[in-house]
């Protein structure tokens, strides 16, 4: 048997909204502003912006190229190229987190950004190199050109 809850109507009283004007009598009374708070807010905003842009570009890139076998076609896709133009300091950890979550050919973006390869004479698979890149990043051993 259904259990029905009947909520009482909401009583809006917009006309009761009270506006207070703060009168400042001299500079001494101005409340101090913690500018660090704004900086943290800005940093968080930037992080969210980069994260969303990255996810959107990677998703579109996968959609266009996921079945491709030609590396040229994969790395010349507009979304991949656009991703490489992102702020490298922000981009690097995003790629590292993504290939840690799901090892993939996205690791080639790291080859392009850093100009480096983690392969040695021994041949590594894509999954191997993803693990190596993550490890090197966590150990702070990745340098930009």
Partner 1 sequence: MLDSPINRNEIIKVFPGLKNDKFFKIEDSSPNYNCIAWAAHVTDCWWDKLPHGNRPSIRFDGVKVDWPFDVDFEFSTRVLIEIFTQLSFVICEDGEYEDGFKKVVIYEKDAEATHMARQLTNSTNKGIWTSKLGGWFRITHESPLTIEGNAYGVATIFMKKSMS
> Which of 51/111 has CB closer to partner 1?
111
Residues 119-133 as b or e (16 or more Cβ within 10 Å = b)? eeeeeeeeeebbbbb
Q: What's the min distance (Å) between Cβ of 145 and partner 1?
A: 10
Give the phi and the psi of residue 34 in degrees, each rounded to 5: -90, 100
Among 50, 84, 124, 142, binds partner 1 (CB under 8 A): 124
Does position 75 interact with partner 1 (CB under 8 A)? The reply is: yes
Q: For residue 72, give both structure tokens.
A: 């040229």
Does position 91 interact with partner 1 (CB under 8 A)? The reply is: no
Does position 104 interact with partner 1 (CB under 8 A)? The reply is: yes
Please check whether residue 87 is in contact with residue 50, taking contact to mean a CB–CB distance below 8 angstroms.
yes
DSSP 24: P
Residues at the contact surface with partner 1, assessed by CB under 8 A: 65-72, 74-76, 103-105, 107-108, 110-112, 115, 117-119, 123-129, 133
């Amino acid at each position: 048997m259904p259990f029905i809850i009947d909520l009482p109507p909401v009583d809006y009283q917009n006309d009761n909204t009270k506006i207070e004007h703060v009168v400042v009598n001299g500079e001494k009374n101005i409340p101090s502003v913690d500018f660090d708070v704004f900086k943290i807010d800005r940093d968080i905003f930037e992080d969210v912006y980069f994260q969303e842009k990255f996810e959107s570009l990677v998703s579109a890139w996968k959609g266009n190229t996921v079945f491709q076998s030609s590396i040229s076609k994969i790395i010349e896709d507009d979304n991949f190229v656009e991703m490489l133009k992102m702020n490298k300091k922000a981009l690097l950890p995003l790629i590292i987190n993504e290939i840690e979550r799901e090892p993939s050919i996205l690791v080639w973006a790291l080859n392009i950004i850093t100009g480096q390869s983690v392969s040695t004479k021994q041949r590594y698979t894509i999954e191997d190199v993803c693990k190596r890149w993550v490890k090197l990043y966590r150990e702070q051993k990745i340098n930009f050109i």
